[in-house]
Amino acid sequence: MNAQTVVQAFYNAIDSGDLARAESYMTDDFTFSGAVPRPIGKPEFRAFVDALLAAMPDVKLNAKNITVQGSNVSLTVQLTATHTATLRPIKPGMSSVSATGKKITLPQERVNITLRDEKLASLEVAQVPGGGMPGLLAQIGA
């Protein structure tokens, strides 16, 4: 499978709520950074996305503009969702946030992915004002 296909399949799996399939595209030592306060590994990423999907089942990452240079892939994402259920804590010290019914649209964010053996080894989201976890939490009033 080529790099673009792997990355698109990963994002399609998340957008459809199939986290088991999304995990199949990740290395065991996968790291996620930039959109969260500190880098997290595969289990923490799964818990983070599980919490988002439970509170916002219509989450879409809207991956676009995928470009490949060897094992490095860059693209843009723009998270959209509706906060329809309680959001469990997704960072230390955070309280649960009851459903607000608010529609969320984060700004477009640049993502850099490193692939290894046709799997995502790292995913780094560029920090932009109003983006990432801080932007999402601000939009729901947390």
DSSP string, 68-126: EETTEEEEEE--EEE--S-B---STTPPPB-----EEEPPPEEEEEEEETTEEEEEEEP
Second-level CATH architecture of 3-135: Roll (3.10)
Mean residue pLDDT across the chain: 92
- Domain map of the chain by residue range? 3-135
| Residues 39 and 31 sit within 8 Å (Cβ to Cβ) | yes
Q: List, for residues 114-138, the tens digit of each pLDDT value.
A: 999 999 999 999 989 998 888 999 9
- What pTM did the predictor assign? 0.89
How many percent of the chain have pLDDT more than 70? 99
Q: List, for residues 14-51, the tens digit of each pLDDT value.
A: 999 999 999 999 999 999 998 777 899 999 999 889 99
